[in-house]
């Protein structure tokens, strides 16, 4: 994983080095990735990757880089500079949807990591009956579906 992370970082550094079309493409890709993950910054995207598996983060370059940095527990100094550059492109000043919902999603992920799932029908084990599990999954799906429209509306 360390070698992959290093190569991804080198690629990002090469593309972002000069004020040219490759840097614009990379920044546009990062903005699109942040929108998809409902994050406001690259630092936040790295934090978000704690909740996702590697296979979920292979959609694009920035998702892979964020997941690799998160898994390797590596911090890079240019992320704050990158985030300030992004802030000049789109200033939100608002808390991201990813940050606003992270604690409830962390809880769900923790339960699933220690063996809980919506297939568990014994409510005494987790204190969650089948309908609660279904509501949790349906709520997450509804959030993912509706948030882009809500963000666009302001």
pLDDT in tens, 32-56: 999 889 888 888 899 999 999 999 8
**Nearest residue to 97 via CA among 29, 149, 138:** 149
Identify whether residues 73 and 117 lie together within a single domain.
no
Which residue would you say has higher pLDDT here, 75 or 34? 34
Identify whether residues 78 and 115 lie together within a single domain.
no
Identify whether residues 70 and 108 lie together within a single domain.
no
* Predicted TM-score of the model (pTM): 0.72
Q: 26-36: buried (b, 16+ CB within 10 Å) or exposed (e) per residue?
A: bbeebeebbee
DSSP annotation of 149: H
Give the residue numbers spanning the domain of 32: 2-89
């Amino acid at each position: 994983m360390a070698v992959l992370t290093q190569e991804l970082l080198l690629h990002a550094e090469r593309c972002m080095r000069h004020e040219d079309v490759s840097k614009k493409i990379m920044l546009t890709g990062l903005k699109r990735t942040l929108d998809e993950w409902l994050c406001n910054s690259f630092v936040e995207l790295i934090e978000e990757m704690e909740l996702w598996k590697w296979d979920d983060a292979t959609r694009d370059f920035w998702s892979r880089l964020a997941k690799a940095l998160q898994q390797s527990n590596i911090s890079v100094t240019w992320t704050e500079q990158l985030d300030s550059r992004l802030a000049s492109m789109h200033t939100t000043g608002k808390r991201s949807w990813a940050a606003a919902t992270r604690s409830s999603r962390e809880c769900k992920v923790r339960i699933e990591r220690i063996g809980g799932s919506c297939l568990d029908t014994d409510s005494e084990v987790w204190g969650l009956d089948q309908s609660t599990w279904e509501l949790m999954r349906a709520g997450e799906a509804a959030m993912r579906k509706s948030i882009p429209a809500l963000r666009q509306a302001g």
